[in-house]
Chains A and B, each alone.
Chain A
Amino acid sequence: MGHSYEQSKKTAYKIISILGIMTISEVLFALAGKGHIMGGSLMMPGYVIAAVMIIMSIVKAYLIVYEFMHMKYEIPGLAKTVLLPLGLLIWAVVAFFYEGNDWKQRRNLIINKNNQTIETMATPQPQGAVKEIQTKKIH
């Protein structure tokens, strides 16, 4: 594999330390960002926390796949056939979150519509038509 046993052993210790430190900082960042530690002095908006967490998770995923799973040492063709299809997920995330947000707005729209007061029609109508409506209502 082009690298000695001693070398790869060293790398393994290095990567696990990085992953451990990253996990600790993720948790500390999440707790500080949401005001659970540091007395709430480091509170920040949810999207900032989410963005930092997503970036850190992707870096962790890279380290696991490239170092622990040895993707780094496979030939490029193998890496491409495994990693490129995952690009489809980018669109899946965008499309589904857009859709989910739309459901939320639609639900709010329905709630608003339900809360609207219904006004009776003020326009004068011929005798027959009114009767028809009334009989319909009785049924």
Chain B
Amino acid sequence: MIPPIQSLAPPPDDAFDVRIITERRDKELRDTKRVVLIGTGVLIAVLGIWELMHATGLVKPIFISDPISVALAIGRLLTSAILWRAVMATFIASFCGLVMGAVLGILSGIAMAHSDVLRRALQPYLTVFNALPRPALAPIFILWFGLGAAPKIVVGATIVFFVLLANTMAGIRSVNADIGFLARSLGMSPWQTFRLIELPQAMPPIVAGLRLGAVYAVLGVVVSEIVAAYEGLGQLLVQYTNQFAIAESFAVLAFTAILALVLDFAVSLLQRLIAWAPASHTD
């Protein structure tokens, strides 16, 4: 005789469920503890070694400063107008470089994804230009555009441009064959295909490129400022280092990193807003 369906369901066993949930929670807690431990351990080790090198004179103290002096320097700079002028100059230039490079890169990526001829014709030049270390162009751009914002924006933009070009092109060309076929069988116009299929498909790599670009834009701008500029964090860094104000130099480096993080964070907000997540099916 076939038993009724209900009898196949196991009787409730709360103790069993509770044990499994407890085990999982314990493991999560253990892992979190380890993460915090290793994280703080590394921080303490780095600061300790730094302090040790300073205290023992392994490296000339004047060249390496020490954690406390740097912390004090950060505090001093925070209230100084010099720092904020430099931060604004670098931030504005990085932002402009990011936007300019991204817009041109995305548009070129779209054009090249759609035209085999264009891609084949331009690819060699783009490969060569991309192989150039762009920061090395800074002196030339400064010669052309002067000591203001323009040369650093251009250096930042030339780096960002290629990241966005490559990502946009790859994104559009990654449209799944079935979806491409569907688009044709529905009789989509080129514009409809672009708007409904290609652009959304390319969105995740475009936004990923923007995040990478945010960091690269700051890099390009700061390097250009180091070469020469009226103002900016790169210029400030050179000044302090030349004066052997090493604590201030480290403080400026910290601000540069924070600036890049802020820009990256801004783009990540954009990412959450517009990009669908390709790998979001977990259950």
Partners in one complex: no
- B interface residues (Cβ-Cβ under 8 A, vs A): none
- A interface residues (Cβ-Cβ under 8 A, vs B): none
